[in-house]
Structure 1
Amino acid sequence: MDLTAVREVVDGRIPLPWRQGDAWLAGGTTLFAEPRPGLRRLRDLTTHGWPPLTVTEAGIEVAATCTITELLAFAETPGTRWPSGRALIAGCCRAFSSSFKVWNTATVGGNLCAALPAGPMISMAVALSGTCRVRGLDGAERVMPVQDFVTGPGSTGLAPGELLRSLTLPAGALAARSLMRRVNTHAWGRSVALVTGTRGREEGRLSVTVTAATTRPVTVVFECVPSPDELRGSLLSALPRRLLLDDVHGRPPWRRHLAVHLAEKVRSTLAEER
């Protein structure tokens, strides 16, 4: 969709003062998806030339401008390092309600900053204990967990003028056993409930996160694998109606039911793995 009110696109490296009507531009697949009459100037992040992925012993740093195609290619590259974490990344990449053509342009950072409840990069990042590296116009940086970065539908912890520089996925979370289960309305439809789970290989700690059914990510953590009743009770307490999404794709009671159902599938599968 054309953004007819935009008057200029500027190099994102230029330290111009932030003004009303500014927006950061990466892939633009969300930005150009609907009318935005208040936008006047786009600040192009792709001019930074950040490497899409940086892999170290500590984990993976994913640039905000990394495309879904680039992340998926990394996740599906044959190798023995972090096979479970790579499988979760690949599953979340393929959870987009869009074609591979969109994946060539859509970015990881854009999906996080759009903060849509069904954003699969949010699901992936929270499941893998991701942290966001946020940069201000003055160059100052701060770090915050993805769990806290997304605060509601279309709402994040970014202050005016701040940008998401990168997402870090730690090696410990990538090495844990992980699993994703989701329900969508049709083959290429958006997720109406998506549940991820991770279980530590040594300590057995189980973490279950619900997204898509909720207005923001909701996580419950257990020091060991809980019983089905314990999991259900914790999730019902953690999913009050105010946190459940209510739209044309599903009502809150149904979404809660799906979340609990998928969480049990995740729990039982991870409980059986050694």
Structure 2
Amino acid sequence: MDMPTVSDVIRTADPQQWRPGDAWMAGGTVLFSYGSDTLARLLDITAAGWESLTVSEDGLEIAATCTIAELFAFPDAAPAAAREQWPALGLIPLCCDSFVASFKVWNVSTVGGNICTGLPAGPMTSLTTALDGVALVHSPDGTSRRLPVTELVIGDGRTALAPGELLRSVTLPASALRARTAFRRLSLTNLGRSGVLVIGRLDEDGTFVLTVTAATKRPVQLRFAAVPTRAELRAELDRSIDAALWHDDVHGLPEWRHYMTDRLAEEIRAELAAPAPPAASAPAPPAASASANTPAPKEGSL
């Protein structure tokens, strides 16, 4: 960690205290990993006292300071009514495991930090976009605004946050949490960063939602009034994701990401088109993809 220009660390969650040269800090795992030679102050929001997870009739509010460890434990610790009525909670452990990170990282890394980093493979971006998460953002001028997480992460390492804006929380609506879901993830190596992560959702009203992350520079979401045919889904993927949007780095070539997105999207479409298995609430990756969904190891890094 190399941050020689930082002169002060202030414990605050008040956006009006922000000034140029400041950076908001929660877990700080990415900030400390990359370092900085320009930052003057760190604004530590971990003492804000925000409730990590709040259940209401409207859904689940996840504080930006909620750690990955807290979120991972939630499906088992949630109120009985939430566990019974929200089968999409099964996505939480799958997305948390997609970090492929040490339990030590899980205990400090935060949901908000992972989203605000804007990494294509950010699994908290995958989770919250797939479930129609809405971000609450506080601004230095004292105002607040809400926007879908699909509009918050806009590119590789890029977000729609203006200078000084602070992500307060993300709310997952109850309607999405009641949906039936399907999950697929692939990496070029057994314990590597996600190269393709696709999540499907079948809402109670029959709406079919497919969210593509990791393979693309920003989240891409497709929405159909009913489960589409294979041809309809493929055509919409081609229309929604142009060549420039496929991500290209050491974790996968654009051609591979494109091909595997099409393949996994079809697997998800077929799974959700079939009748739901009795008493099945959590999404289950197929045996063929099991090696690509290996639980996180005890040691590793983001």
Q: Offset at 1:154?
A: 1.1
1:5 and 2:9 are equivalent in the alignment = no
Question: Alpha carbon RMSD of aligned pairs, Å?
Answer: 1.5
Secondary structure of 2:42 counterpart: strand
Report what 1:54 is aligned to. 54
Q: Offset at 1:17?
A: 4.4
Shift in CA distance, 14/163, structure 1 to aligned 2, threshold 3 Å:
closer
List alignment gaps of at least 5 residues for structure 1: none
Which of 77, 86, 90 does residue 89 from structure 2 map onto? 86
TM-score of the pair, normalised by structure 1: 0.95
Secondary structure of 2:258 counterpart: helix
Secondary structure of 1:173 counterpart: helix
Kept after mapping to 2: 8 A contact 1:13/1:45:
yes
Residue deviations 1:207-249 (CA, integer Å, cap 9, x gap): 1010000000011111111111111111112111111101122
Shift in CA distance, 56/185, structure 1 to aligned 2, threshold 3 Å:
same
Residue deviations 1:117-151 (CA, integer Å, cap 9, x gap): 00000010011000000001233111000110101
One-letter amino acid of the structure 2 residue matched with residue 64 of structure 1: A
List alignment gaps of at least 5 residues for structure 2: 277-302
Worse-superposed segment, 15-24 or 214-223? 15-24
Q: Offset at 1:24?
A: 0.2
Secondary structure of 1:81 counterpart: helix
Higher relative contact order (CA 8 A, sep 6+): 2
Q: Offset at 1:83?
A: 4.5
Q: Distance in 1 between matches of 2:113 and 2:262?
A: 29
Q: Distance in 2 between matches of 1:107 and 1:210?
A: 22
Q: Offset at 1:15?
A: 6.1
Q: Distance in 2 between matches of 1:15 and 1:175?
A: 34
Q: Offset at 1:163?
A: 0.2
Worse-superposed segment, 91-100 or 56-65? 91-100
Secondary structure of 1:46 counterpart: coil
TM-score of the pair, normalised by structure 2: 0.87
Q: Distance in 1 between matches of 2:107 and 2:10?
A: 22
One-letter amino acid of the structure 2 residue matched with residue 96 of structure 1: F
Q: Offset at 1:273?
A: 3.0
Report what 2:267 is aligned to. 265
Kept after mapping to 2: 8 A contact 1:239/1:256:
no
Which of 182, 206, 209 does residue 208 from structure 2 map onto? 206
Q: Distance in 2 between matches of 1:149 and 1:87?
A: 24
Paired residues in the alignment total 273
Shift in CA distance, 257/15, structure 1 to aligned 2, threshold 3 Å:
closer
Q: Offset at 1:100?
A: 1.6
Query: What are the equivalent positions in structure 2 for 1:138-217 lying under 5 Å apart?
Result: 138-201=141-204, 203-217=205-219
Q: Distance in 1 between matches of 2:214 and 2:85?
A: 25
Q: Distance in 2 between matches of 1:131 and 1:38?
A: 31
Q: Offset at 1:54?
A: 0.6
- Among all aligned residue pairs of Structure 1 and Structure 2, give the percentage whose two residues are the same amino acid: 49
Q: Offset at 1:115?
A: 0.6
